[in-house]
Amino acid sequence: MHKIIAVLWAATSCVIMAQAQEGAATAVTPSRTPVTLDQALAAAGIIAPAGDAARAGIEAAQAARAVAGLRPNPTIQTEVENIAGSGPYGGFSQAETTVGMSIPIELGGKRPARVAVADAQAHRATLTAAIIQADARLQVMLLYIGAIATQRRVAIAGDQLRIAQNALDAAALRVRAGRASPIEEQRANVARLNAQAGVEKAQRLASAARANLARRIGQPIDAPLDEVMLDHVPAVLYGPTQAESGGTLAMAAADADLSMADAGIRLARSQSVPDLTVEPGIRRLSASNDMAAVFSVSIPIPMFNAGKASVAQARAQRRQAEAERRMTALDVEQAITDAQAEADIAATIARNANGPALAAAQEAARIARIGYREGKFGQLDLLDAERTLADTRLAMIDALAAYHNAKARLERLTAPAPQQGY
């Protein structure tokens, strides 16, 4: 009788396993080339609206640079005197018509100071574009890793459903053979229903993750993702190293802000120097029909506004930029250290879960299945072993995803700044 039950249990398991594998191959693994992470990053870079905004910002900064190098426009003015009066000045016979030009001459280095500010702003716009691109790359990487992890969880949930169905069939056989209480069959049925709910939950999460990734890269994802990349964990970890923030995008942006503040001080100082206005012209005297040259020079008197307040404001902004740069250096170094530690911890957990822990859990589950089938172990022992195996596999996926997420954040934190050039 025991042999008959074992044969029936094995046959049922094989049928269910074959159906599950066939369904998984049909739904999850279509016969197409996987979409790699590099392909997803390339697709996202083409349609990213943030990239368009960054490029527009660079163009605006370059246009501002051209405007800053322009000189002020001259002004043409016409003046008519000695008209619409009394006596001989009632008409235009004594009119004096002057046509002149007002030419402002900037002093104090205002134009070079404006150009310096515009250059600093253009460099900052270039760094902003690089930061936006790096952030978009990080978002795609995190979404891709999350989609792979959810795809793996779907497979695990499917395995748990298959195992739960096998346990239910085995419990039913034991009950019909009078070797177990009907409670075991009911308990196994509850476990199967929970496993079914787990499959549905995992599938919905996987669909949402793929939809978010497809939305980010701007195209549907019909092919499977490259799950193999999730298993790449280095044998040598980062280790406790001294975090270096120099040369990163964040520090380059802080340095650019400081350069803009320095240029602002130079511009404020130049604005405190009064400009000279030259006004050459020609005057016609209607009474004698003679022509005469007119020339005048004007310069404002810095009586109420000597520019000291603007210089003080620029210096305060420079001190603020310098303090923010120091804070940025501390924040970046701390973030790099945290990302390194997180990657090391996740890699250690992943290797352990994928090695001794997983092997032990698989062996325990295998022994529990055989023992339960032969009546040596109870149903609770079987369920506990299966739950431990599932938890170990899920922990391995979580650790792998955590490692790659930490690695992606570390790459973002240490991304080098582009070379300055115009």
User: For residue 154, is it within any domain?
Assistant: yes
Contact 262, 322 (CB under 8 A): no
Higher pLDDT, 322 or 370: 322
Cα gap 119→128, rounded to integer Å: 14
Across 110-179, the runs of DSSP E, i.e. the strands, are none
Within-domain flag for 179:
yes
| Domain containing residue 42 | 2-71+106-272+307-413
Shared domain check, 402 and 268: yes
Give the mean pLDDT of 68-80. 91
Task: Tell me the torsion sign for CA atoms 367, 369, 375, 377.
Answer: positive
pLDDT higher than threshold 60 for residue 276: yes
What is the pLDDT, as a whole number, of residue 235?
66
Give me the residue label for tokens 């945290």: 338
238, two tokens: 């980062």
Same domain, 16 and 115: yes
> Which pair of structure tokens corresponds to residue 287?
């009474």
Give the CATH number of the domain where residue 38 resides.
1.20.1600.10
CA dist., res. 136 & res. 41, Å (int) = 9
- What's the CA gap between 380 and 233, in Å, rounded? 35
On whether both 277 and 236 belong to a single domain, the answer is no
210 or 31: which leads in pLDDT: 210
**Whether residues 264 and 213 fall in one domain:** yes
Pairwise pLDDT comparison (5 vs 262), residue with the higher score: 262
**pLDDT at residue 186 is higher than 60:** yes
Would you call 188 exposed, middle or buried from its count of C-beta atoms within 10 A (0-12, 13-18, 19+)?
buried
What does the pLDDT read at residue 266? 95
Domains: count for the chain: 2
Which of 73, 72, 77 has its CA nearest to residue 100?
A: 77
Q: Are 117 and 318 in contact (CB under 8 A)?
A: no
Confidence (pLDDT) at 421: 52
280 and 339 share one domain:
no
Please answer whether residues 109 and 372 qualify as being in contact, where contact means their C-beta atoms are separated by less than 8 angstroms: no
pLDDT at res. 4:
36
CATH of the domain at 82: 2.20.200
* CA 147 to the chain's CA centroid: 17
What average pLDDT does the chain have? 83
The dihedral sign for the CA sequence 214, 219, 222, 227: negative
Give the tokens for residue 35: 């979409």
**Which of 285, 306, 327 delimits the end of a domain?**
306
Tell me which amino acid residue 414 is: T
What is the Cα–Cα distance from 359 to 56, expressed in whole angstroms?
Answer: 55
347 and 292 in a common domain: no
- Residue 7 is predicted with a pLDDT of 36
Mean pLDDT of 84-106: 85
Q: Residue 8: pLDDT band by 50, 70, 90 thresholds?
A: very low
- pLDDT category at 73 given cuts 50, 70, 90 is very high
Sheet strand arrangement including 276-285: 75-81, 96-105, 276-285, 290-298
Interatomic CA distance for residues 335 and 234, integer angstroms = 21
What's the pLDDT score for residue 104? 93
Rounded distance between C-alpha atoms, residue 89 and residue 82, angstroms: 6
| Domain-located, residue 144 | yes
Max CA separation in the chain (angstroms) = 141
Q: Cβ atoms within 10 A of the Cβ of 59, count? A: 12
For residue 363, pLDDT over 70 is answered with yes
pLDDT in tens, 193-211: 998 999 999 999 999 999 9
